C-alpha cells in the first residue's frame, strides 16, 4: 500500500506494510580519497590568510547558493529546514498572528535591565566606598554570583505583572505560540500518518502500561476512522530484555509461538506445550515472574496491534536512558529505510540487517508495525490522551510547515487524585503550572517549553536535529585531530546520514527534551502550546517528596549541562557550553533568549545562595578589622524577604489575578474541575494546595539545585533513574529509612549551614560560646545567621511532613478514607462477580472473539493476578517433566509438591536436581499427585 506524504515536496513515495518497498532509489555521493583531480587544491582550507577573503560572505546579498538538493551535499530534507536559504515560505491558510504580543519584549528588556543594572551598581558602589582591596574583591565576587540568583527573580516579577495586562482578545483567539481553537485542514491537504511512541521499562503491565495503551488505542482508532490515515503505536520496551537477561532466543521463541497460535492461548503452560523441547531450554535460569511479564506484554501487543522495539541491555548509552530508548526505534526504522534505498534491499531484509550487529548477534528485537509516520507523539508510560486530540492537532502541522512541535496541556491522572494530602498539593501545583504559567507565557508571546511528554513532533524536524548534531560532532572531531575544516562531501555524505548511529535525542544530556527544543529553535522551527478544551493529556505524578526532589535535582543537572562546561574544561573550552553559545548567537528573538536564559538560571539560584552566603560568612569571620561587616552585594535577611515578596506576594497575587481574568473571559482554557466551579473555588485550591506546596517544597530545593549543579560541574558520572510509576507499598520504618538515605546530601548541606551560621555568631561574641547575643548584636546575628539556619531546619522537617508513607494514617489512608476517594472495583474482581461473563478456565477461543469480547481484557487481567500470587522461582531444567506429568514443564519442580518435600529430605537436596542428574546420582521416579497443578 502506497501513501504520499503531504510534507514531502518531491512527492517521494514511501511504502508501508509487510510487502513494502522504498522507492525511488537515489545514488549517494561516495567520497574517493584517491580520486581527486589535479586542480583540486585543498591547501586554501588550511591557509589562515585566506579566511578573510570570505569573512563578509554572509553579509553579501548577491551571493549564490548552490542547491544541495541537486549536488547531494545534504539530502532532500534541506528544503524543510526553515532557516536554510532554500527553504520555501510556509503555507498559512489560517488567520493566526505571525508576531507575539509586544509586552513580551517589554518584560524581557525590563527584567534584563534591572538585573544587569543591579550588578553594575554593586561594582560602582564597591569602588566608590573604597576601604580595602579585600572588600572590593568580595563585593565583585558576590555581585557576579548574585546575577545568577537574581536574573530569574527579576524576570518572574516583571513577567507576572505584565501577564495582568494581556489583552482580553488573546484569551479567545489563537496566538503565534498558543492554540486554544482547533484549526481546519485545507481541502487539498492530505492527513498525515502518525506514530505514538511510548518508552517503558519495568513498570507494571496491569497497573501502569495497560491503561496508557488503552487510552492511546482509543485515540488511534478514532483518528484512523475519521481521517482514513495511518496511525500506529510503538512501545520502546526496555523491560523485555531486562526481564529476560538479554536472552533474545527466549524472546523470539515466545513471540514466534504467540504469532503461530494467533494469540489464542493466554496461559503460558498451554503455550509451551506447542514449543519443541530444545527451544524451551532458552528459558532456563530466568525468573518465573519475569517470563510471565514478558509473555503478557507480548500477548497484549499482539492482540491490539501494538508495535514494540526491545533493544539489548548492553551499551545502553546516556545518563538518562529514555533518550537512547527512543533513539533505538528511530535508528531501526530510519536506518532500515536508508539501507533499503542504498543497497536495493527489501524493507524486511533491511530491518534484519539493522537489528543485528556486524558479528551476527542480535541487537534489537521488534514486532508488529513499527514504522514512523510524518508526526510522532511521545507519551510516558503512565499517561493518558484524549480521544480527539490527534484529529484536532494534525491540521496545526499541515497549515504551518515550520511548526516543529506542539506541547499539550497536561493534568494529573484522575486515578491518582485524592490518594493523599501530598497528591492533592502536587496536583494543584501541576495544574497551576500547565493551565497557568505555561499557558499565560505562551499567550504573552514566549516560546512554549518542550517537557518530553504529551508532545507532537514533526518527524522531518527530528531528522534534521539528528543530522546537525552528527555534523557538529564531526566538526569537533576534525578540529581535535588537527583539521580545521573539511567540506561535507569530503567528510563523506553517508557518514553524515548514517541513521543507524545518529542521535536524534541527545544521549549525553540529562534534559534531552530541553536540548532538542534548543536545536529545533536554532534550526528555525517553531513550537506551540496547545490548550484545546477537553483535550488535555494526563500524567502520573510522584507520590513522595523524595521522588519529586530527585526530579528537580535532575532538572538542575540538565540545566547546568546545557549552559556550562564542567570545571575541568573551563581553561581550554570556556565556561559556557557550545550549545549555549550557539543558542545565544542564533536568530532566535532576543526577548526569548532572555526568557530561556532566565529560566535556566532559576536552577542556579540554590547554588548561588550557598556560595554567596559562604563567601560573605567567611569574609566576616576572617575580617579582623571589620572592613567587610556590611556588604552591598549580600544581605541574608534581604534575600529571604526578596524571595517572599517576589514569589508569594507579587507572584501569586498577579498569578491569581490572571487566572481569575481567564476564568471570566474564557473559562474553557481551564481544566474541567476548575471550569465547572466558581472563581472562589479556583482561588481556594491555588492558595491552600499549590501555594502551600511551593512554600514548603522550594524552601528546600536550593540544596538539591546545588547538588544537581555539582553533579555536572564536578563531572560526576551519575546515572539518573526514571521516576517510579508503580504503587508504593512500604512500612513507616522503611519509608523513614529511605528518606534519610535519599536526603543525606541535603542534610549535610543543612548541617554545614548551621555550623557556619553558629560560627558567625561566635565571631561576633569574640568566640565566647557561653555568651548570649543581646541588643544590636542579637538583631544583626538574627538577620545574618537566622535565614540560613531556618533553611537548614526546613531541610530536616519538610522531607518528613511531605511523605505520607512516614506519617501514615490518617494522612495516608490505605483505602481512600478521609483524604481519598472510595476504591473502585477492579476489573479482576468484576470478572469474579459477573457470572454471565464467565467462561471455563483454559477454554481456547478464536482470535476474533478474543479481540472483540469484553472478556478478553478481563481474562488477561485475571491471568496476571493469578501469577502475581505465585512464588518467583528460578526456572530449572526444561527437559524434565513437571511432577511426572504428561507434558514438559518450563520451571523447576514445584516447591510445594510432596515429591519436592521428599527430595529436600535427602542429604544431597541442596544440589539442584538437574546437576544431580548430570553427576550420576540416582534420581527417584517422579510421581504426579492428583492435587498438584502446574506452576505455569
Rounded to an integer, the average pLDDT of 114-125 is 83
Three cell numbers written together for 623:
575580617
Whether residue 9 is predicted with pLDDT greater than 90 in this model: the reply is: no
- Tens of pLDDT along 340-355? 888 888 888 888 888 8
120 or 110, which is more confident: 110
Which range has the worst mean pLDDT, 65-74, 168-177, 252-261, 756-765? Answer: 65-74
Rounded to an integer, the average pLDDT of 684-694 is 91
Which range has the worst mean pLDDT, 134-143, 336-345, 614-623, 766-775? Answer: 134-143
Ranges of H-type helices in 248-388: 248-260, 268-272, 277-280, 288-303, 321-343, 347-354
End-to-end CA distance of the chain, in Å? 41
What CA–CA distance (Å, rounded) separates 741 from 360? 44
Could you tell me what percent of the chain has a pLDDT over 90? 29
DSSP SS3 for 235:
strand
What CA–CA distance (Å, rounded) separates 551 from 723? 8
Could you tell me if 4 and 13 are in contact, meaning their C-beta atoms sit under 8 angstroms apart? yes
Which range has the worst mean pLDDT, 30-44, 204-218, 871-885? Answer: 30-44
Could you tell me if 665 and 407 are in contact, meaning their C-beta atoms sit under 8 angstroms apart? no
| Predicted local distance difference test score (pLDDT) of residue 310 | 94
Q: Which band of pLDDT confidence, cut at 50, 70 and 90, is reported for residue 873?
A: low
- Tens of pLDDT along 456-497? 999 999 988 887 777 777 766 666 777 665 555 555 545 555
Three cell numbers written together for 350:
533491511
Long-range interactions of 827-836: CB distance < 8 A, separation 24+? 827/857, 827/858, 827/861, 828/858, 828/861, 828/862, 828/865, 830/858, 831/855, 831/858, 831/859, 831/861, 831/862
What CA–CA distance (Å, rounded) separates 712 from 724? 23
Could you tell me if 72 and 29 are in contact, meaning their C-beta atoms sit under 8 angstroms apart? yes
Instruction: Give the count of beta carbons closer than 10 Å to the beta carbon of residue 615.
Output: 17
- Is 32 exposed, middle or buried (CB count within 10 Å of its CB: 0-12, 13-18, 19+)? exposed
DSSP SS3 for 236:
strand
- Tens of pLDDT along 793-806? 999 999 999 999 88
Domain map (residue ranges) of the chain: 102-165+563-718+740-807, 193-372
Which range has the worst mean pLDDT, 70-79, 584-593, 662-671, 782-791? Answer: 70-79
| Predicted local distance difference test score (pLDDT) of residue 103 | 86
- Tens of pLDDT along 568-618? 889 888 889 888 888 888 878 888 889 888 888 888 877 788 888 888 888
Q: Which residue has the cell 544431597?
A: 908
Q: Which band of pLDDT confidence, cut at 50, 70 and 90, is reported for residue 23?
A: very low
| Predicted local distance difference test score (pLDDT) of residue 628 | 53
Three cell numbers written together for 102:
509586544
What CA–CA distance (Å, rounded) separates 425 from 695? 11
What CA–CA distance (Å, rounded) separates 514 from 773? 49
Whether residue 19 is predicted with pLDDT greater than 50 in this model: the reply is: no
Q: Which of 238, 245, 242 is nearest to 323 (CA)?
A: 238
Three cell numbers written together for 300:
497484549
Could you tell me if 268 and 864 are in contact, meaning their C-beta atoms sit under 8 angstroms apart? no
Q: How many residues belong to the chain?
A: 936
DSSP SS3 for 360:
coil
Rounded to an integer, the average pLDDT of 670-684 is 90
923 or 471, which is more confident: 471
What CA–CA distance (Å, rounded) separates 651 from 767? 42
What CA–CA distance (Å, rounded) separates 777 from 783? 10
Cα distances (Å, whole numbers) of residue 533 to 180, 380, 662: 7, 21, 13
Three cell numbers written together for 842:
483454559
Could you tell me if 726 and 577 are in contact, meaning their C-beta atoms sit under 8 angstroms apart? no
Cα distances (Å, whole numbers) of residue 361 to 355, 356, 440, 763: 9, 6, 52, 68
Which range has the worst mean pLDDT, 237-251, 537-551, 784-798, 885-899? Answer: 885-899
- Residue partners of 509: CB distance under 8 A and separation at least 6: 319, 323, 515, 558, 561, 562
722 or 491, which is more confident: 722
Name, of 244-248, 610-614, 772-776, 861-865, the range with top average pLDDT. 244-248
What CA–CA distance (Å, rounded) separates 126 from 142? 11
What CA–CA distance (Å, rounded) separates 866 from 774? 70
* Order of strands across the sheet that contains 410-412: 383-384, 537-539, 410-412
| Predicted local distance difference test score (pLDDT) of residue 752 | 94
Cα distances (Å, whole numbers) of residue 912 to 210, 311, 898: 37, 32, 17
Could you tell me if 336 and 354 are in contact, meaning their C-beta atoms sit under 8 angstroms apart? yes
Three cell numbers written together for 608:
548561588
Is the bond preceding 343 in cis, omega lying within 30 degrees of 0? no
Q: Which residue has the cell 534584563?
A: 112
What does the H/E/C string look like for 865-922?
Answer: HHHHCCCCCECCCCCCEHHHCCCECCCCCCCCCHHHHHHHCCCCCCCCHHHHHHCCCC
Q: Which of 509, 386, 505, 507 is nearest to 457 (CA)?
A: 505
What CA–CA distance (Å, rounded) separates 892 from 655? 63
| Predicted local distance difference test score (pLDDT) of residue 927 | 41
Instruction: Give the count of beta carbons closer than 10 Å to the beta carbon of residue 329.
Output: 26
SS3 content of the chain, % helix, strand, coil (to 5): 55, 5, 40
- Residue partners of 353: CB distance under 8 A and separation at least 6: 336, 339, 345
Q: Which of 446, 555, 408 is nearest to 159 (CA)?
A: 446
Q: Which band of pLDDT confidence, cut at 50, 70 and 90, is reported for residue 6?
A: very low
DSSP SS3 for 449:
coil
- Tens of pLDDT along 208-240? 999 999 999 999 999 999 999 999 999 999 999
What CA–CA distance (Å, rounded) separates 194 from 58? 38
Three cell numbers written together for 460:
522531518
What CA–CA distance (Å, rounded) separates 177 from 403? 10
What CA–CA distance (Å, rounded) separates 749 from 700? 11
Rounded to an integer, the average pLDDT of 499-506 is 75
Cα distances (Å, whole numbers) of residue 570 to 146, 515, 562, 615, 911: 20, 21, 14, 21, 59
pTM above 0.85, yes or no: no
501 or 550, which is more confident: 550
Three cell numbers written together for 500:
543507524
| Predicted local distance difference test score (pLDDT) of residue 362 | 86
What CA–CA distance (Å, rounded) separates 292 from 863? 10
User: What's the whole-number average pLDDT of the chain?
Assistant: 76
What CA–CA distance (Å, rounded) separates 935 from 498? 47
What CA–CA distance (Å, rounded) separates 905 from 567? 63
DSSP string, 809-839: TTTS-TTSTTTSPPPPPPHHHHHHH-GGG--
What CA–CA distance (Å, rounded) separates 533 from 669? 6
What CA–CA distance (Å, rounded) separates 116 from 104? 18
Residue 377 CA to its chain's centroid (Å): 13
Q: Which band of pLDDT confidence, cut at 50, 70 and 90, is reported for residue 539?
A: very high
What CA–CA distance (Å, rounded) separates 242 from 157? 47
What CA–CA distance (Å, rounded) separates 789 from 750? 8
Whether residue 728 is predicted with pLDDT greater than 80 in this model: the reply is: no
Amino acid at each position: 500500500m502506497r501513501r504520499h506524504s503531504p510534507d514531502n515536496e518531491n512527492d517521494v513515495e514511501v511504502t508501508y506494510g509487510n510487502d513494502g518497498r522504498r522507492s525511488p532509489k537515489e545514488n549517494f555521493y561516495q567520497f574517493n580519497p584517491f580520486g581527486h583531480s589535479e586542480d583540486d587544491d585543498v591547501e586554501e582550507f588550511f591557509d589562515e590568510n585566506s579566511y578573510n577573503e570570505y569573512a563578509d560572505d554572509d553579509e553579501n546579498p548577491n551571493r549564490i547558493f548552490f542547491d544541495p538538493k541537486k549536488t547531494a551535499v545534504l539530502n532532500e530534507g534541506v528544503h524543510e529546514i526553515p532557516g536554510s536559504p532554500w527553504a520555501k515560505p510556509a503555507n498559512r491558510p489560517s488567520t493566526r498572528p505571525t508576531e507575539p504580543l509586544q509586552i513580551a519584549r517589554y518584560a524581557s528588556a525590563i527584567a534584563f535591565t534591572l538585573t544587569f543594572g543591579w550588578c553594575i551598581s554593586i561594582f560602582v558602589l564597591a569602588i566608590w566606598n573604597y576601604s580595602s582591596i579585600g572588600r572590593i574583591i568580595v563585593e565583585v565576587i558576590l555581585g557576579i554570583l548574585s546575577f545568577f540568583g537574581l536574573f530569574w527573580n527579576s524576570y518572574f516579577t516583571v513577567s507576572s505583572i505584565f501577564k495582568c495586562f494581556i489583552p482580553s482578545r488573546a484569551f479567545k483567539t489563537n496566538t503565534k505560540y498558543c492554540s486554544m481553537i482547533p484549526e481546519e485542514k485545507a481541502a487539498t491537504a492530505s492527513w498525515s500518518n502518525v506514530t505514538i511512541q511510548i518508552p517503558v521499562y519495568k513498570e507494571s503491565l496491569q497497573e501502569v502500561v495497560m491503561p496508557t495503551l488503552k487510552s492511546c488505542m482509543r485515540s488511534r482508532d478514532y483518528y484512523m476512522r475519521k481521517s482514513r490515515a495511518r496511525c500506529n503505536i510503538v512501545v520502546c520496551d526496555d523491560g523485555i530484555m531486562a526481564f529476560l537477561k538479554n536472552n533474545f532466543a527466549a524472546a523470539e521463541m515466545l513471540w514466534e509461538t504467540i504469532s503461530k497460535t494467533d494469540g489464542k492461548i493466554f496461559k503460558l503452560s498451554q503455550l509451551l506445550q506447542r514449543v519443541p523441547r530444545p527451544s524451551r531450554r532458552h528459558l532456563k535460569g530466568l525468573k518465573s515472574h519475569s517470563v510471565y511479564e514478558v509473555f503478557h506484554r507480548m500477548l497484549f501487543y499482539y492482540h491490539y496491534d501494538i508495535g514494540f522495539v526491545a533493544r539489548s541491555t548492553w551499551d545502553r548509552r546516556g545518563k538518562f536512558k529514555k533518550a537512547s530508548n527512543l533513539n533505538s526505534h528511530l535508528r531501526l526504522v530510519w536506518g532500515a529505510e536508508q539501507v533499503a534505498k542504498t543497497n536495493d534491499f527489501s524493507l524486511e531484509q533491511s530491518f534484519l540487517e539493522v537489528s543485528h550487529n556486524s558479528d551476527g548477534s542480535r541487537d534489537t528485537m521488534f514486532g508488529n508495525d513499527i514504522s514512523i509516520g510524518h508526526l510522532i507523539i511521545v507519551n510516558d508510560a503512565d499517561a493518558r490522551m484524549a480521544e480527539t486530540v490527534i484529529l484536532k492537532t494534525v491540521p496545526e502541522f499541515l497549515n504551518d510547515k515550520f511548526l516543529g512541535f506542539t506541547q499539550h496541556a497536561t493534568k494529573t491522572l484522575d486515578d491518582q487524585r485524592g490518594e493523599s494530602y501530598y497528591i492533592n498539593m502536587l496536583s494543584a501545583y501541576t495544574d497551576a503550572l500547565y493551565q497557568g504559567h505555561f499557558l499565560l507565557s505562551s499567550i504573552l508571546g514566549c516560546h512554549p517549553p518542550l517537557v518530553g511528554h504529551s508532545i507532537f513532533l514533526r518527524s522531518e524536524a527530528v531528522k534534521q536535529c539528528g543530522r546537525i548534531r552528527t555534523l557538529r560532532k564531526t566538526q569537533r572531531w576534525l578540529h581535535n585531530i588537527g583539521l580545521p575544516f573539511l567540506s561535507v562531501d569530503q567528510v563523506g555524505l553517508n557518514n553524515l546520514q548514517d541513521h543507524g548511529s545518529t542521535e536524534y535525542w541527545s544521549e549525553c544530556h540529562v534534559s534531552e527534551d530541553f536540548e532538542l527544543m534548543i536545536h529545533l529553535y536554532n534550526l528555525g522551527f517553531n513550537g506551540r502550546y496547545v490548550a484545546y478544551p477537553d483535550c488535555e493529556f494526563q500524567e502520573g505524578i510522584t507520590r513522595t517528596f523524595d521522588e519529586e526532589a530527585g526530579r528537580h535535582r535532575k532538572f538542575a543537572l540538565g540545566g547546568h549541562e546545557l549552559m556550562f562546561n564542567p570545571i575541568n574544561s573551563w581553561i581550554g573550552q570556556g565556561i559556557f557550553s557550545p550549545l549555549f553559545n550557539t543558542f545565544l548567537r542564533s536568530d532566535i528573538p532576543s526577548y526569548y533568549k532572555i526568557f530561556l536564559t532566565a529560566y535556566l538560571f532559576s536552577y542556579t539560584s540554590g547554588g548561588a545562595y550557598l556560595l554567596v552566603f559562604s563567601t560573605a560568612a567567611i569574609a566576616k569571620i576572617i575580617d579582623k578589622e571589620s572592613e567587610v561587616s556590611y556588604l552591598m552585594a549580600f544581605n541574608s535577611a534581604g534575600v529571604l524577604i526578596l524571595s517572599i515578596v517576589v514569589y508569594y506576594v507579587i507572584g501569586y497575587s498577579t498569578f491569581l489575578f490572571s487566572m481569575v481574568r481567564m476564568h471570566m473571559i474564557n473559562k474553557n482554557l481551564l481544566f474541567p474541575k476548575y471550569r465547572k466551579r466558581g472563581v472562589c473555588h479556583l482561588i481556594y485550591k491555588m492558595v491552600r494546595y499549590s501555594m502551600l506546596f511551593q512554600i514548603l517544597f522550594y524552601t528546600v530545593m536550593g540544596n538539591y539545585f546545588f547538588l544537581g549543579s555539582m553533579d555536572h560541574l564536578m563531572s560526576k558520572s551519575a546515572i539518573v533513574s526514571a521516576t517510579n510509576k508503580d504503587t508504593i507499598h512500604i512500612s513507616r520504618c522503611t519509608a523513614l529509612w529511605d528518606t534519610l538515605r535519599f536526603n543525606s546530601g541535603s542534610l549535610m548541606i543543612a548541617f554545614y549551614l548551621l555550623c557556619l551560621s553558629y560560627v558567625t555568631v561566635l565571631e561576633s561574641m569574640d568566640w565566647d560560646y557561653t555568651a548570649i547575643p543581646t541588643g544590636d548584636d542579637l538583631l544583626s546575628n538574627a538577620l545574618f545567621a537566622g535565614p540560613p539556619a531556618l533553611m537548614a531546619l526546613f531541610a530536616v522537617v519538610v522531607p518528613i511532613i511531605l511523605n505520607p508513607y512516614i506519617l501514615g494514617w490518617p494522612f495516608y489512608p490505605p483505602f481512600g478514607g478521609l483524604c481519598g476517594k472510595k476504591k473502585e472495583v477492579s476489573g479482576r474482581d468484576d470478572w469474579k462477580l459477573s457470572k454471565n461473563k464467565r467462561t471455563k478456565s483454559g477454554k481456547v477461543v478464536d482470535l476474533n472473539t478474543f479481540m472483540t469480547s469484553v472478556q478478553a481484557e478481563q481474562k488477561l487481567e485475571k491471568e496476571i493476578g493469578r501469577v502475581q500470587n505465585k512464588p518467583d522461582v528460578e526456572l530449572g531444567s526444561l527437559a524434565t517433566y513437571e511432577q511426572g506429568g504428561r507434558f514438559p514443564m518450563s520451571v523447576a519442580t514445584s516447591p510445594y509438591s510432596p515429591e519436592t518435600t521428599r527430595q529436600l529430605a535427602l542429604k544431597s537436596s541442596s544440589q539442584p536436581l538437574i546437576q544431580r542428574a548430570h553427576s550420576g546420582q540416582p534420581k527417584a521416579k517422579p510421581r504426579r499427585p492428583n492435587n498438584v497443578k502446574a506452576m505455569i
